[in-house]
Amino acid sequence: MIPQDIIRRKRDGERLAREDIAAFIGAMARNEIAEAQVGAFAMACWFRGMTPDETVALTLAMRDSGEVLSWQEIGRPVADKHSTGGIGDNVSLMLAPIAAACGLAVPMISGRGLGHTGGTLDKLESIPGYAIMQDAALFRRTVKEVGCAIIGQTAALAPADKRLYAIRDVTATVDSVPLITASILSKKLAAGLETLTLDVKIGNGAFMTTAEEAQELAQSLVDVANGAGVRTAALMTDMNQPLADAAGNAVEMRNCVDFLKGLKGGTRLETVVLAFAAEMLVQSGLAISPADGELQAVRALQSGRAAEIFGRMVHALGGPADFVERSEAYLPRAPVEIAVTAERDGWLSACNARDIGMSVIELGGGRRLPTDAIDHRVGFDRIVPLGTWLQRGDRIAMVHAADQASGEKAALDLAGNYRLSVTPPGLPPVIVKRVDKSA
């Protein structure tokens, strides 16, 4: 295999054979190819694109660059969910234990915050002792005994993705749909899944802001995952406002515990969580229809079984044994709280969700640099959903800040990110569309 020949052929628009892609990615993972060559390959893919077969080959090569987990002894269907990222999107925290309570095994490998979006791992690190980086033995034991485990990507899983992503990040090739697809799916496939459900966000708080962009990415992910042998479907969901009524780390963990205790019924968040639980159960053959799957999920919540499984998972991965029962004793709380209020009467009609995410970062709840430490205490909670009628002085949200100055700035910024109108807004449904594999 001569790297420059593969680069030239992709640059000239030729279709690469599976063997060529596997050889290139294998050599890249072994550091036998220079960074300049990897960057040139990524740029050629960005300009020329990749066929579905090429993208499948790239995904499998990246998956096979490291360890691929097997769950043959687990005795239950193995499933997972992935979100492309949003604001107040803590669905995974509740979905994993709900799915486990319904009979699935959920080995969930999650990520940190990316850009303006929050990260599941950052939220979990609000819990004292919870260790997101675990050895394979404890990960497997937790999934087997508890039903689910949420951890970070280990160096053994899809190492080629780590190197390729780092180079894409500095060569302006992040926004290539085939490369995004392979990056997301290589890690998920390395986890040994049988089925996968994807949450592709759309709106001003998502990476894909238009319906066309979201549809293209969703279809690519679904087709490639199915082509790689994992039964997969996607739901496109609205991200034009925070999904939960909290955005941050510890504040979203509080939201999670409240949800598992049944205190978030009737919300957009509940709609999304139950829809994804139903989709996972139908895909895995444990429910005969979405309605049946949703009913099973509701029962798992109402019985307390999902909350029990979440608590056992937290303890198995290093957290307190009584976290669900005494979460307020463990989760850090910011010293400054400031109410953001409506300046006049009106309908809460729109917001800039992306800038709300950026405000969390400004407060210290996210990273500007990969080496930055996170202040898990800060963020927003009690966020009022769009479509609510407010009178002057009514609360839109609460700011949680480390000091008065940063809190006042965040309150001012948040107020500026919302718009009031004299007429009720027309809002999109939270579940926009389901995407299945192409015919």
Interacting residues of 392 by C-beta distance below 8 A, sequence separation 6+ = 341, 342, 343, 344, 345
- Residue 235, CA distances (Å) to 31, 276, 296 in order: 37, 8, 19
- Catalytic machinery residues: 80-83, 120, 168, 183, 187-188
- DSSP sequence for 192-257: T-SEEEEEEEESTTSS--SHHHHHHHHHHHHHHHHHTT-EEEEEEEE-SS-SSSEEESHHHHHHHH
**Long-range contacts made by residues 154-157, C-beta under 8 angstroms, separation at least 24?**
155/66, 156/66, 156/67, 157/66, 157/67, 157/69, 157/109, 157/187, 157/190, 157/191
CA-based radius of gyration for the chain: 22
Burial of 437 (0-12, 13-18, 19+ CB in 10 A): middle
> Measured between alpha carbons, how far is 401 from 414 in angstroms, rounded to an integer?
13
Angle at 84 between CA 260 and CA 76, to 5 degrees: 55
- Three-class DSSP category at 404: helix
Angle at 128 between CA 125 and CA 130, to 5 degrees: 55
Distance from chain centroid for Cα 297: 20
- Residue 346, CA distances (Å) to 343, 386, 390 in order: 9, 11, 6
